[in-house]
Structure 1
């Protein structure tokens, strides 16, 4: 079973929720901030509590490496321990690292994030340098059951600056989708989706529907829910056609305790409640 088959099945079984562990110190409850630990140790403790509280609800965890790199070696240790902890629970882990470079450098990125201390199941890739930025991952997809999500139509406001430019009759994001379908054709699993998927934001549901129709073998990682304005009804309209996505929320979930005014050891229950509410918000429309 290829990695996207596994993610597809877990998303159906548990719900299409990807919990984003884009963890910074400002999200931690006071009781952890007061510990005589390093910043990385505090973040690791927080993440483990979140994973324990949501493992039955999360089809995947997405870990944004920038939040950890900013703390230096201490932060990278926290990143490593977090992805290992989640993977040891047999849950798909997405390394949100957005790598994209020529093939010789891409070889090293692939080795760095598909083996060793930072090993994840799927990583995000920026392919706007063309197939040279994608091909280094092919052998890991084929031989090591790994996957990638390529940036296609992102949820940030300025994405329109480039992604919505037209080349003849097609938007650039549509051309990228065609490339993703082509590059992924050799890596389709039993579910019909390729282990080369795409990142498409929920903030423009009309565009998403057109992308989905144009890219029938592409599985999507979907940012933009909650804090960025995406709604459960929007993604449900996509999932009604085919269960082709997991939906990520980071701030909207891992600040659940702050919204409830909880700063003690019971914080993770509020994050669980926020995750459950997201799941129910999506599934109610299906």
Structure 2
């Protein structure tokens, strides 16, 4: 199971590097190249993977950053996920897909086969099981996994996710947590975690801790570290119970060369990103 592999990687380092790359994030020497935007982004991403592969559990690519550049951007997405996987690391496609069964089946084929093949995909289950079940054959037969949106890190997630249900007083996201556990039962690996995982924001640490107890076989992808305010201390209580997550940081890591005390706009910029990634790893693990 792919989540066994991710769990074992996360024991060494819980850091997920988010390659949610925009042209603005690139050092000036790459911006100045006589290349397409997609080629520049691909070169940037490869430098980061090379510099951090030994201290990151996995890499997450937010597909919107690439879709925004059209065909050129999608070529960069394809080359990036292929490079991550060729480097022996786990590639998470952050696409948050969610649609009726026939459409979801096409999304599953598009992201678990071919040019955009990743190891794990983020999906939106708020249309119900129809939006998730077409991915299950890939989990069963092709070593793939899912991270289902559960309690997300954005401030307005409370608008809907925390609404109480009339039936039993559960909050909506808690009911979704029960469903994720149910869907994941057939796909629990040797680690005790299912290939059907969940996305929970670090911006709500107390709710996350409760979900850890509610969903003990669920492995989590956790956004919200760094630029969104989350810290290693916020994850401490969760990790003292179990190492059930990878923690993502995107712009907080991949813009380190721009925000350093001495910014670097030339070749070698990736050393500052490596330094920031290592600092994140140490910030999380020091609380254990």
Query: Is TM (by shorter chain) over 0.5?
Result: yes
Residue in 1 that maps onto 2:6: 7
Residue in 1 that maps onto 2:112: 114
Residue in 1 that maps onto 2:246: 246
Residue 170 (1) aligns with residue 163 (2): no
Runs of 5+ consecutive residues of structure 2 not aligned to the other structure:
none
Residue in 2 that maps onto 1:227: 227
Deviation at 1:266, TM superposition (A): 1.1
Cα RMSD after superposing both structures: 0.5
Match of 1:270 among 269, 272, 286: 272
Match of 1:59 among 57, 60, 81: 57
Deviation at 1:89, TM superposition (A): 1.0
CA distance in 1, matches of 2:56, 2:231: 18
CA distance in 2, matches of 1:88, 1:237: 35
Runs of 5+ consecutive residues of structure 1 not aligned to the other structure:
none
Q: Which runs of 4+ in 1 moved over 2 A?
A: none
Question: SS of the residue aligned with 1:167?
Answer: coil
Match of 1:33 among 22, 28, 31: 31
Per-residue CA deviations over 1:120-178 (Å, capped at 9, x if unaligned) read: 00000000000000000000000000000000000000000000100031111100000
Match of 2:121 among 93, 104, 123: 123
Residue in 2 that maps onto 1:73: 71
Q: What is the number of equivalent residue pairs in this alignment?
A: 284
Deviation at 1:235, TM superposition (A): 1.1
CA distance in 1, matches of 2:78, 2:50: 17
Deviation at 1:259, TM superposition (A): 1.0
Question: SS of the residue aligned with 1:240?
Answer: helix
